[in-house]
């Protein structure tokens, strides 16, 4: 088994339903380490980059409305990076299947997700599904200085008189 990082997002429905503490408690069962955590106001640009691979899907525009908070009237999400052995599979297991109706009832999505009349799966959390996806997503959602471990190669750039670390 391998040490990995994975991105978790508590989506706007998770926050609106006051499930933050509950979700963090469920995820603590994995014994993984949280190495990054923040509240994010999700822009259309960030949403489009995050879900770029789903652009052609019929539910894409609803999905963008969902993750940017326009379905719930609140554009906050909580983004977290978990680190440890087999992190991706461990988090995916507790999160449950994509379709909340098919998800194991005790998983986060099985317990708290639902299918909207539009057909969109409102499934409370995002969790990276592969190492490649985790790296792409963590680099998209977090800056190097926002994570306590040096996860991926970085470089220093100079903005005016300020030096800043960015992903290479
Ligand atoms: P996951 O979030 O399990 O990795 P995904 O990456 O395929 O699933 O899709 C991203 C989100 O899009 C998913 O969490 C909910 C929504 N979604 C996916 N497939 C869907 C479908 N067939 N109908 C409605 N919503 C869907
Ligand atoms: Mg996915």
139, 75, 43, 32: CA torsion to nearest 10:
10
Nearest ligand 1 atom to alpha carbon 119 = 24
The rounded Å distance from CA 129 to ligand 2 centre is 6
Token pair of 90 as six digits = 């461990």
pLDDT band (50, 70, 90) for residue 22: very high
Helix-helix angle 20-28:87-95, to 10 degrees: 130
Give the residue, out of 92, 96, 98, with the most ligand 1 atoms within 8 A of its beta carbon, to mutate for a pocket test: 98
Report the pLDDT averaged over residues 97-107.
Answer: 98
Query: Comparing C-alpha atoms, which of 8, 13, 1 is closest to residue 122?
Result: 13
Sequence-ordered list of residues with C-beta below 8 angstroms from that of 115, at least 6 positions apart, any chain: 99, 100, 101, 121, 122
Q: Report CA(127)–ligand 2 centroid distance (Å).
A: 7
pLDDT score at 87? 98
CATH of domain 3-167: 3.30.70.141
- Dihedral (Cα; 130, 132, 135, 140), 10-degree rounding: -100
Mean local confidence (pLDDT), 72-81: 96
**Do 113 and 103 touch, CB atoms closer than 8 A?**
yes
Q: How far is the CA of 162 from the centre of ligand 1 (A)?
A: 40
Residue nearest (by alpha carbon) to ligand 1 atom 23: 120
| Residue 39 to residue 90: CA distance in whole angstroms | 23
Phi, psi of 18 (to 5 degrees): 55, 40
pLDDT at 1: 75
Question: Is the whole-model pTM more than 0.95?
Answer: yes
Beta-bridge partners for 87: none
What is the model's pLDDT at position 56? 98
- Cβ atoms < 10 Å from Cβ of 59: 14
3-state helix, strand and coil shares in percent for the chain, rounded to the nearest 5: 35, 25, 35
């Amino acid at each position: 088994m391998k040490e990995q990082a994975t991105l978790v997002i508590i989506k706007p429905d998770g926050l609106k339903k006051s499930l933050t503490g509950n979700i963090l408690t469920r995820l603590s069962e994995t014994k993984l380490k949280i190495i990054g955590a923040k509240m994010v106001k999700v822009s259309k640009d960030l949403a489009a980059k995050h879900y770029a691979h789903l652009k052609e899907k019929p539910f894409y525009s609803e999905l963008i409305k969902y993750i940017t908070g326009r379905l719930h009237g609140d554009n906050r999400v909580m983004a977290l990076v978990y680190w440890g052995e087999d992190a991706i599979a461990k988090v995916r297991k507790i999160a449950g299947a994509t379709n909340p109706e098919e998800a194991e009832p005790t998983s986060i999505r099985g317990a708290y997700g639902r299918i909207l009349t539009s057909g969109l799966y409102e499934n409370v959390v995002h969790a990276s599904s592969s190492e490649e996806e985790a790296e792409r997503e963590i680099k998209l959602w977090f800056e190097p200085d926002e994570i306590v471990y040096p996860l991926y190669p970085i470089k220093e750039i100079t903005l005016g008189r300020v030096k800043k670390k960015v992903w290479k």
